[in-house]
Amino acid sequence: MTVSPYTHAQRRAYLDLMDRVGRHWVCVFGGEREFYSTAYWDLFTALWAAGAPMRKTEALAAMTAVKSAHTAGKYLDAAIRRGFVAERDNPDDARSKLVVLDPEMARRLDRFFDAAIAEVRETARDIGDASGGESDPAAGT
């Protein structure tokens, strides 16, 4: 049996953190649970991180949990229809389109990240030092 550096309570605090952050994520979309999906997480965080328009094909590829470009396109189209993402012509390449976060969505994501960081910091204080862990029966050694 190996000894984990973390206690059950510390691991539980992590799960509680993830639940709170998930609730903040749902609030980004006004409580619409349709957007509580790893595909949307990948899409919106990639667009937010880019901070500028990106090619539509790059946005589709950012949805790593979605294996089909066709299915990824459905997610992107839903975000565009809802007004969370804007689609534009690419001035450098008429064969491609650009997508960018709607400015209000970018502000919502800024607030989300602020809340998520605050939750992480609070949880880190609550968890404290990782010393005093416990045996991990799942390790089997």
| Residue 141 domain-assigned (yes or no) | no
Structural domain range at position 65:
8-125
Mean pLDDT of 113-126: 95
In single-letter form, the type of residue at position 120 comes to: V
What is the CATH classification number for the domain harbouring 31?
A: 1.10.10.10
Distance CA 136, CA 129 (A): 18
Q: Residue 77 domain-assigned?
A: yes
- The pLDDT value recorded for residue 31 is 83
pLDDT over threshold 50, residue 38? yes
User: 136 lies in a domain?
Assistant: no
Query: How many structural domains are present in the chain?
Result: 1
Model confidence pLDDT, tens digit, residues 72-89: 999 999 999 999 999 999
% of the chain with per-residue pLDDT over 90:
78
pLDDT category of residue 128 using cuts at 50, 70 and 90: confident
Half-sphere exposure of 141 (CA within 13 A, CB side): 4
pLDDT of residue 134: 64
- pLDDT score for 2: 78
Tokens of 43: 């899409």
Residue 27 lies in a domain: yes
For the chain, the C-alpha Rg in angstroms (whole number) is: 19
CB 6 within 8 A of CB 138: no
Asked if residue 139 belongs to a domain, the reply is no
**CA distances (Å), 27 to each of 12, 33, 50, 115, in order?**
23, 9, 22, 11
Q: Answer whether residue 141 shows pLDDT above 50.
A: no
Q: How far is the CA of 65 from the CAs of 33, 76, 130, in angstroms?
A: 18, 13, 32
What is the average pLDDT across 101-122? 97
For residue 137, is it within any domain?
A: no
Instruction: Collect all residues with Cβ–Cβ distance below 8 Å to 123 and sequence separation of at least 6.
Output: 13, 14, 16, 17
The reply to whether 44 falls in a domain is yes
Query: Residue 135 — very low, low, confident or very high, per pLDDT cuts 50/70/90?
Result: low
Of 89, 118, 123, nearest to 15 by C-alpha is 123
